[in-house]
Amino acid sequence: MKKIYLLFLFNALLVSNKAYAQSYFFYDDFEQYSAGNMLACQDSINWTTWHLNPCDTVEDSYVTNAYAYSGSNSFVCVANNDEVHHWGPYTTGHWQIYFYNYIPAGKSGYFNTLAKFMGESSEWGLEVSFDPFGNTWVRAGGNYSGFDWIPDSWVLNKVIVDLDDDQAEYWYNGTLICQWQWTLGYNGFNISLQIAANDFYGYWSTDEMYVDDYQVFKGYLVPVEVNVVGPTTFNLSQNFPNPFNPTTTIGYEIKEKGNVKITVLNSIGEEVAVIVDEEKESGYHTVEFNAATLPSGVYFYQLKSGQFISTKKMILMK
């Protein structure tokens, strides 16, 4: 059975001074599949190919245990593969797509994000190409952006599409690469104000891109006033990514200046790490936790500030 997390996280998001409640919409770590078999062939509900032919030996990508960001499996997109996760179209909402990719040195890769998924009538909102020479080319809003990609390493890609404001962003390894008006599409021509799919395509003969921990979040606009001057409450957000290996980011909000302590506890309540223990100004903060020295398992992270205490669960999967 596919692991689809409908965990309503309701993280506090501020986008263009709007408040969003965020939830997991879809998550796949590829651990439930058999390595050596095709992805859409094993799950034709959530994955398909460009020509809607799961089990097609040319288009359908294979699950592999050659490389993995977490666990033991990922899927690999090689020449002429055309793997699609199709979940739309949706016409409203704030969407965030995360996945890790790994490209060996001298190899290449490609993915796009689609407003409409209808074969040759599809509408491209974003194209990202990793060429075999270490260059990355991003087509968004009619513009090209270039930067160097990191070989032989798992790297986080993030695509944000805000359909409510018709804006989009692409982030690579924590760096904002470009922002654009979503309905300008990848080439500057008008596309529909909607989101439909991600496509991983083996464009070059040198393509060999591994993909793991593919996640889609949807943010729902909260119909309340937002105090943009400062926070009015304390809040501890769900870590991301979760599950993680070995690093994850924790966000928290404090309404007044004071000492903040964030600790990590194991499943029996023993303290195994102190992430933060210092005075912080009021506002929203993030901190990265590296669990490289800890074994896989369920952990809890706890925030204490003044009289406020909050605890959340996270899962380390190595």
> For the segment 154-174, what is each residue's pLDDT rounded down to a tens digit?
999 999 999 999 999 999 988
For the chain, what is the mean pLDDT?
87
Report pLDDT digits (tens) over 238-290: 887 888 889 888 888 888 889 999 999 998 888 999 999 999 988 778 888 99
**CATH 2.60.40.1930 for the 235-316 domain, yes or no:** yes
The full set of domain ranges for the chain reads: 8-221, 235-316
pTM score, two decimals? 0.68
What is the layout of strands, in order, in the sheet containing 195-201?
Answer: 48-49, 82-90, 195-201, 109-116, 123-130, 135-140, 143-148
Helix (H, G, I), strand (E, B) or coil at 41: helix
Predicted pLDDT of residue 232:
53
Helix (H) or strand (E) holding 223: none
Q: What is the 3-state secondary structure (H, E, C) of 151-210?
A: CCCCEEEEEEEECCCCEEEEEECCEEEEEECHHHCCCCCCCCCCEEEEEEECCCCCEEEE
Measure the CA–CA gap between 199 and 117, rounded to whole angstroms: 9
Fold classification of 8-221 (topology level)? Jelly Rolls (2.60.120)
pLDDT, tens digit (0-9, with 9 covering 90-100), for 193-226: 999 999 999 999 999 999 999 999 887 544 444 3
Q: Are 170 and 159 in contact (CB under 8 A)?
A: yes
> What single letter denotes the amino acid at residue 205?
S
